Structure 1
Amino acid sequence: MQLGYALINLAGLAALLLWGVRMVRTGLQRAFGARLRLLMGRALCSRWRSFLAGILITALLQSSTATALMATSFVAKKVVGLVPALAVMLGANVGTTLIVQLFSFPVFAAAPAAIFSGLLLFRSRNTTAHDLGRVFIGLGLILLSLHQMVEFADTYAQSAGLRELLGTVSRQPLLEALCAAAFAWAAHSSAAAILLAASFAAKGVVSLPAAFALTLGANLGAAINPVFEGTTGRDPAFRRLPIGNLFNRLVGVLGGLLLLPEVTAWLEAWEPSPARAVADFHTFLNLSLALLFFPWLSGYGRLLAAWLPERKDKEDLRQPLYLDPAALGTPSVALGSAAREALRLVDLLKIVLEKFREIFLKGDRQNFSSVQRTADAMDKIHRAIRSYLSGLDRDLMNEAERVRLQDILFFSSSLEQAAGFAEKELQGLAAERIHKNLVFPAGEQVELSSIIERILSNLRMASSLFVTPDLETARTLALEKESFRSLEASASAAHFERMRASPGDHDPAGALYVKVVGQLKRINGQVVASAAYPILEREGELLPSRLRSVTDADSPAR
């Protein structure tokens, strides 16, 4: 029972530590995220500047994963080469040691002051001060959780069950390293795992060699996340940087485990404080790896390029191009990336409509496969946009950014639905036109081409409105929906008049034409709604229903 209670307490303190680390990272990303990306972009011109930029950015963000995703996005866009990006990651690994070094000193007494200062700043109306308030509160939570971990170690150091559990693990350095790697991977933070190990080592809950093994595993775990996140799965070449960094860490882990007895003896003589010894071991490990790999980065980069060659396949329409995972920590940049991706749906829907115009007017069945591929691409891109935006942290966003997020989701969803109508409904009607060899009269062909051109014009207006919201343009676009109702009514009335004039003629081509116009009206409705409706709704100019209000209607006679 005592062991279970101890583990629950430990889990709660670890969660508090992780939350503090997260608050510091998100606060700094909100305050300086765009500037940090700009700093990295400027620094990626030489190895040494890249190395120093990696140290600085990671020390500020307290996350080598965030730095890795930034660097990977630059490499993926071919803004920089692989070698400077590898130098960034060597610096990032060193940068993770600075926060561990800081918190290995007895600075716990600053926790209340940090939280109080953070609260005052958090209540400020100034955006930067508000974000820095999050940073100070996060620092206070980190200090508080570490202090409680020390108290926890004092309380439970003599627990027979806990000592037996940790003693069993301590006899297997590789098992310890794997456990710490799993923790750091799940937490997206090597610093949290290492600080936890340092706290236990300080009170003798784990031996110093065991704490060092945990530190080795935490370094490895933090390098796993970038391999599987973001754009790295799109092209083998995009995996070069995160896999190169993972191999760098793996070399450090294997070397550290082999030299663990010698390193332990040396650090015990160097630093009598176990907590400081863990921090120093973490620092020496990453400095040694930087010194080992730095002179060979060019050759290492060529080796990675040969192992993971760039894909030469023809560009896949279904593949998102602008969804940069490294930008998720900076909502304004991430929303811009998502909006740019959403505009690709405009171009793809244009292709679909133009293909259907050729099918209906010329009976070209070769376009069916192209329509299917393009519609599938729109569906996949729409799902990718939704998945990407779901990764945004709402705590990092202001109200305007939350509104923009909803606009992007609505815009992409509306266009994807328009493509769905075309794929499912128009394609069936086009197949019927070809199968029955129906030909529209010359007047209806001209009219049909004009209707599709009008939708394309509305699509261009919608994309412009999506980029630059304008109330008057939204009103103009919304009126197009009523115009298409009139077009459908006119086509239906003309068909009905032909039926009356020739009772024995069922006019299958005319009936098909009416159905086609009806589906084009539905597609146009989605195009209009995609960009105009959010603006009109915010301005209070969009009615919730076209039904007449009950309060305005005449009361029925009883």
Structure 2
Amino acid sequence: MEFSIALIQLAGTVALLLWGTHMVQSGMQRAFGPRLRSLLGSALRNRFTALAAGTGVTAALQSSTATGLMATGFAADGLVGLVPGLAVMLGAGIGSTLIVQLLSFDVELLAPALVLIGFVMFRRDGSPQVHDLGRVFIGLGLMLLALHQLIIIMRPYEHAPLFQILLGAVSNVPLLDLILAALLTWAVHSSVAVVLLVVSLSVNGVVPPEAAFAFVLGANLGTAVNPLLEGAAGREPAARRLPLGNLLARIAGALLVLSVLGPLVPLITALDPGRAVADFHTLFNLALALVMLPLLGPYAWLLRRLLPDSAQPVDPSRPLYLDKAAKATPAIALGGAAREALRLADVLEEMLHGARDALAKGDKRLIAETKRLDDVLDRLNAAIKAYLTSIDPDELSDEDHTRLNEILVFATNMEQAGDIVERNLLPHAAKRLKRGLAFSKDGQAELTGLVDQLIANLRTAASLLMTGDRRAARLLADEKVAFRRAEAAATEAHFLRLRARRLDTAQTSAMHLDLLRDLKQVNSHLVAAAAYPVLERSGELLPSRLAGRAAAPR
């Protein structure tokens, strides 16, 4: 019974440590996530700035996994070279050691003060950033409390016979320790929490130094598994170069150090036995960076040979940027969803080009190919909706909720605009081809001009989704009025041609008027997709454009 209670206390304390780590990570991601992502992206010019950026971003986020996912996404999208990307991964390993070094000091007395400060900041109704930093302080306090509680729980069992037998078995198989720690780190997504747990157990003599060092090596491997399994999952082989290269480098380093672990243990423990595990964690990552940094060029060449660019065409309906692992980091998840939504705009533009050419040339094959693109729109839109609605709403700030809704509105309107092209514009083109009809020269020019105007507005809408610029939003909203006037002018010109009894106009009259109406509906969806959300957020969108009624006579 006593052992069961102790086991529950131990599990609860470890859970508290993990939760504290999660609060620190989520608080930093909410407060500085977009800025840190921008910093990381701008620093990927060469291996040295990339190493420094990886260290700094990971130290702030306290999650080498989050940094690894960012770098993996950049590399998979072709935004960063393989060499700087590998340098970021090395820097992420160094950055993860900083909080371990800090918390390995005897600072548990600060825990109540940190929780109190965090609580006061969290309860403030002012700046959202202060609110998020309050989460960070609370998380740090909980981590310290958990580590202190862990010491209290384990102290009575340090000299228990059964425990000593178990420790003897563990300490004799360092490779097993490494594998267990790697699996645990992969499961909890936090090498910081695992290493801190090992530090606490080692300081109290629960785990011998050699086994503790093996556990640390395993934690460094486990944190490199997540970007490979989750960040690059479902991508082309070339997209897996960066996370696989990081994992292979860490496996080689861990096995090399494991082979000489016996002689290393007395050397490191002699310096400061109480901080030996934290120091070993830092030294391993520093040594790995120093060894690998000069070799990144040939190493990247080898990875390209192992994982060459795929010659197979990519399924256009398969999402490219919706990383499941990124959902724990709203700033990254929303950025990926926005990039995926831009693909909807690209597909819709291709459909508009196809519809324009089909209306002008009457190519049956072109009509069929353009029609199939609507299936791509439908599947991408469904994937984006499923991804965004699966994000934990408790992890989203008010700004995140607004951004999520903007992406959903954009995706929905892109899909609905595609439906109009597929169900209305293309059937008219097919009907014209089947009946051997032709629009008048003036009528064809009007339709082509309106489609070109739609394509220009679509590009503006796509740009507006990423920038959120109010001036661009007003310009796009004004295009709704301009397009309505162009549609009215085209309709009036069509009626003038009918009055002139032009045969080519009379034969296609109903079709021409339907197309003008359908094009105007497509433009309405483009404006609603990007302009209205921005104007509504800035308070510049009126609830109605109807003129106010005059007062009724008494």
Is TM (by shorter chain) over 0.5?
yes
Paired residues for 1:206-355 under 5 Å = 206-230=207-231, 234-273=235-274, 276-311=275-310, 338-339=337-338, 341-355=340-354
- Looking at structure 2, the residues matched to 59 and 441 of structure 1 have their Cα atoms a distance apart, in angstroms, of 65
Please say if 1:138 is aligned against 2:136: no
- Looking at structure 1, the residues matched to 390 and 71 of structure 2 have their Cα atoms a distance apart, in angstroms, of 19
Amino acid corresponding to residue 194 of structure 1 in structure 2: V
- 1:150 deviates by 1.6
Higher mean Cα deviation, 131-140 or 361-370?
Answer: 361-370
**Are the counterparts in 1 of residues 82 and 242 from structure 2 also a CA contact under 8 Å?**
yes
Amino acid corresponding to residue 93 of structure 1 in structure 2: G
Where does structure 2 lack aligned partners over 5 or more consecutive residues?
A: 493-505, 545-554
Partner-residue secondary structure (3-state), 2:435 = coil
- Looking at structure 2, the residues matched to 534 and 407 of structure 1 have their Cα atoms a distance apart, in angstroms, of 6
Do the aligned partners of residues 2 and 169 (structure 1) sit closer, same or farther apart at CA in structure 2, a change above 3 Å counting? farther
Which residue of structure 1 lines up, in the alignment, with residue 130 of structure 2? 129
Partner-residue secondary structure (3-state), 1:97 = helix
- 1:138 deviates by 1.5
Which residue of structure 2 lines up, in the alignment, with residue 110 of structure 1? 110
**Are the counterparts in 1 of residues 477 and 527 from structure 2 also a CA contact under 8 Å?**
no
- 1:223 deviates by 0.5
**Are the counterparts in 1 of residues 457 and 476 from structure 2 also a CA contact under 8 Å?**
no
Which residue of structure 1 lines up, in the alignment, with residue 551 of structure 2? none
Partner-residue secondary structure (3-state), 1:114 = helix
Partner-residue secondary structure (3-state), 2:119 = helix
- Looking at structure 2, the residues matched to 508 and 2 of structure 1 have their Cα atoms a distance apart, in angstroms, of 92
Paired residues for 1:452-471 under 5 Å = 459=458, 467-469=468-470
TM-score, with structure 2 as normaliser = 0.76
**Are the counterparts in 2 of residues 30 and 329 from structure 1 also a CA contact under 8 Å?**
no
Amino acid corresponding to residue 174 of structure 2 in structure 1: P
- 1:461 deviates by 7.1
Which residue of structure 1 lines up, in the alignment, with residue 547 of structure 2? none
Do the aligned partners of residues 262 and 395 (structure 1) sit closer, same or farther apart at CA in structure 2, a change above 3 Å counting? same
Paired residues for 1:146-157 under 5 Å = 146-154=147-155
- Looking at structure 1, the residues matched to 82 and 424 of structure 2 have their Cα atoms a distance apart, in angstroms, of 48
Which residue of structure 2 lines up, in the alignment, with residue 69 of structure 1? 69
**Are the counterparts in 2 of residues 33 and 329 from structure 1 also a CA contact under 8 Å?**
no
RMSD (Å), alpha carbons: 4.7
Which residue of structure 2 lines up, in the alignment, with residue 365 of structure 1? 364
Which residue of structure 2 lines up, in the alignment, with residue 556 of structure 1? none
**Are the counterparts in 2 of residues 183 and 193 from structure 1 also a CA contact under 8 Å?**
yes
- 1:142 deviates by 0.9
Please say if 1:420 is aligned against 2:423: no
- 1:25 deviates by 2.4
- 1:56 deviates by 3.2
- 1:27 deviates by 2.8
Partner-residue secondary structure (3-state), 1:244 = helix
Q: Kindly, what percent of the aligned residue pairs are identical?
A: 46
Higher mean Cα deviation, 90-99 or 524-533?
Answer: 524-533
- 1:368 deviates by 3.0
- Looking at structure 2, the residues matched to 479 and 147 of structure 1 have their Cα atoms a distance apart, in angstroms, of 66
Please say if 1:194 is aligned against 2:195: yes
Do the aligned partners of residues 532 and 70 (structure 1) sit closer, same or farther apart at CA in structure 2, a change above 3 Å counting? closer
- 1:250 deviates by 0.6
Which residue of structure 2 lines up, in the alignment, with residue 437 of structure 1? 435
**Are the counterparts in 1 of residues 437 and 507 from structure 2 also a CA contact under 8 Å?**
no
Partner-residue secondary structure (3-state), 1:210 = helix
- Looking at structure 1, the residues matched to 131 and 100 of structure 2 have their Cα atoms a distance apart, in angstroms, of 26
Which residue of structure 1 lines up, in the alignment, with residue 91 of structure 2? 91
Note the alpha carbon deviations across 1:364-395, whole angstroms, 9 max, x for none.
11203431453344345435644665687766
- Looking at structure 2, the residues matched to 511 and 390 of structure 1 have their Cα atoms a distance apart, in angstroms, of 42
Do the aligned partners of residues 440 and 332 (structure 1) sit closer, same or farther apart at CA in structure 2, a change above 3 Å counting? same
Partner-residue secondary structure (3-state), 1:439 = coil
- Looking at structure 1, the residues matched to 423 and 481 of structure 2 have their Cα atoms a distance apart, in angstroms, of 26
Aligned length: 530
**Are the counterparts in 2 of residues 440 and 510 from structure 1 also a CA contact under 8 Å?**
no
**Are the counterparts in 2 of residues 227 and 242 from structure 1 also a CA contact under 8 Å?**
yes
- Looking at structure 2, the residues matched to 440 and 117 of structure 1 have their Cα atoms a distance apart, in angstroms, of 75
**Are the counterparts in 1 of residues 451 and 519 from structure 2 also a CA contact under 8 Å?**
yes
Which residue of structure 1 lines up, in the alignment, with residue 404 of structure 2? 405
Note the alpha carbon deviations across 1:391-445, whole angstroms, 9 max, x for none.
87766754344223211211112211332343356556655665x5363675986
- Looking at structure 2, the residues matched to 519 and 169 of structure 1 have their Cα atoms a distance apart, in angstroms, of 72
- Looking at structure 2, the residues matched to 52 and 463 of structure 1 have their Cα atoms a distance apart, in angstroms, of 33
Which residue of structure 2 lines up, in the alignment, with residue 499 of structure 1? none
TM-score, with structure 1 as normaliser = 0.76
**Are the counterparts in 2 of residues 319 and 381 from structure 1 also a CA contact under 8 Å?**
yes
Which residue of structure 1 lines up, in the alignment, with residue 178 of structure 2? 177
**Are the counterparts in 1 of residues 235 and 320 from structure 2 also a CA contact under 8 Å?**
no
Partner-residue secondary structure (3-state), 1:180 = helix
- 1:249 deviates by 1.2
Note the alpha carbon deviations across 1:117-161, whole angstroms, 9 max, x for none.
222333262444333322211111111111122222135557788
Which residue of structure 1 lines up, in the alignment, with residue 57 of structure 2? 57
Note the alpha carbon deviations across 1:330-359, whole angstroms, 9 max, x for none.
867875665465344334323313423443
- 1:268 deviates by 4.9
Partner-residue secondary structure (3-state), 1:309 = coil
Where does structure 1 lack aligned partners over 5 or more consecutive residues?
A: 491-506, 544-558
Do the aligned partners of residues 465 and 207 (structure 1) sit closer, same or farther apart at CA in structure 2, a change above 3 Å counting? closer
Which residue of structure 2 lines up, in the alignment, with residue 503 of structure 1? none
**Are the counterparts in 2 of residues 29 and 329 from structure 1 also a CA contact under 8 Å?**
no
Higher mean Cα deviation, 32-41 or 235-244?
Answer: 32-41
- Looking at structure 2, the residues matched to 3 and 269 of structure 1 have their Cα atoms a distance apart, in angstroms, of 34
**Are the counterparts in 1 of residues 76 and 240 from structure 2 also a CA contact under 8 Å?**
no
**Are the counterparts in 1 of residues 464 and 530 from structure 2 also a CA contact under 8 Å?**
yes
Amino acid corresponding to residue 141 of structure 1 in structure 2: L
**Are the counterparts in 2 of residues 28 and 61 from structure 1 also a CA contact under 8 Å?**
yes
Do the aligned partners of residues 457 and 262 (structure 1) sit closer, same or farther apart at CA in structure 2, a change above 3 Å counting? closer
Note the alpha carbon deviations across 1:277-329, whole angstroms, 9 max, x for none.
32233233323323433343332232223323344667875577887999989
Which residue of structure 1 lines up, in the alignment, with residue 552 of structure 2? none
**Are the counterparts in 1 of residues 268 and 280 from structure 2 also a CA contact under 8 Å?**
yes
Note the alpha carbon deviations across 1:34-55, whole angstroms, 9 max, x for none.
5544554565455445444433
Partner-residue secondary structure (3-state), 1:366 = helix
- Looking at structure 2, the residues matched to 64 and 3 of structure 1 have their Cα atoms a distance apart, in angstroms, of 35
**Are the counterparts in 2 of residues 478 and 532 from structure 1 also a CA contact under 8 Å?**
no
**Are the counterparts in 2 of residues 474 and 533 from structure 1 also a CA contact under 8 Å?**
no
Amino acid corresponding to residue 402 of structure 2 in structure 1: V
Partner-residue secondary structure (3-state), 2:364 = coil
Do the aligned partners of residues 92 and 351 (structure 1) sit closer, same or farther apart at CA in structure 2, a change above 3 Å counting? closer
Do the aligned partners of residues 37 and 454 (structure 1) sit closer, same or farther apart at CA in structure 2, a change above 3 Å counting? closer
